[in-house]
Amino acid sequence: MRYLLAFLLLTASLLASPTSLKDLYGARGLDIIGNPDTVSAILLKDRNGDPKARSKKVPLTPEQKRVVSAALLDRRIYGFDSEGTKVCLPIWNARLLFTKGSESRQIDFCFHCNVLSIHSAPEQSTDADFDPAHAILLGIFKQAFPKDKFLQHLDD
């Protein structure tokens, strides 16, 4: 019972939602996401919460870069003002890798429960809901990987 309580408390702290874009990305992350030199898309295969690439990196076009940056920096997609967080176990389907100079931010997406995970350093991540941006972000991945059957079957 003690271990279950510890697990639940740990899980609750990990799922605590940030309350602003700065909480979510950090000041430097906001700059990297908002003004990247490059953005690449990667498809993932998630095995028990350990996602591995199942595709090569596909660089996004300048228009796709603009769309994903604008979507991810729109505070309305995150539900900062909503109560609580989702109860789900994300299965990471896709990743965006934002690079600016020598710095990068990796964002993993679960399109089943609309949760993303921002990685600013190894073993350091922040999760958030992105329900309102589901169609926009999934659409970008579908454009980048038009022949991927799994991705193409996900609902916009």
Per-residue pLDDT tens for 117-149? 998 766 678 888 899 999 999 999 999 999 999
Residue 7 has pLDDT above 50, yes or no: no
Residue 92 has pLDDT above 50, yes or no: yes
Mean pLDDT across 96-120: 93
- When comparing pLDDT for 122 and 93, which is higher? 93
| Domain CATH code at residue 118 | 3.30.1490.410
Residue 111 near residue 93 (C-beta atoms within 8 A): yes
The token duo for 145 is 């990987």
Domain count, the chain: 1
pLDDT of residue 61: 98
CA-based end-to-end distance of the chain: 41
The 10 Å Cβ neighbour count of residue 105 is 24
pLDDT of residue 121: 67
Residue 82 has pLDDT above 70, yes or no: no
Residue 73 has pLDDT above 90, yes or no: yes
Most confident of 16-25, 43-52, 96-105: 96-105
Domain region containing 14: 2-153
Secondary element (H or E) of residue 51: strand 50-53
